[in-house]
Amino acid sequence: MEEEISAPMGSILKQLTEQDLSLQGEEELAVRIALLKEEIIRAEAMLEGKKGSRHDAEALFK
């Protein structure tokens, strides 16, 4: 079963998920997708950095 992930109330992510995309044209949707993909890459890089920092900290205290 697929787990549903929801953004916190009042957050920018919540606002993005609630926007009516039918009002946007092809170019606007393409730009939106490109920006979101860039943000995903940035968030994934930050996540990997945090995992590395946590791994380093755990190794230090073993």
**Distance (Å, rounded) from C-alpha 23 to C-alpha 29?**
10
Tell me whether residue 51 is in a domain.
yes
Tell me whether residue 18 is in a domain.
no
Identify whether the C-beta of residue 10 lies closer than 8 Å to the C-beta of residue 3. no
Domain count, the chain: 1
What pLDDT shows up at residue 19? 94
Write out the residue range of the structural domain in which residue 53 sits.
25-60
Model pTM?
Answer: 0.70
Phi and psi dihedrals of 19, rounded to 5? -70, 145
Give the pLDDT confidence of 32-45 residue by residue, as tens digits. Answer: 999 999 999 999 99
What pLDDT shows up at residue 1? 54
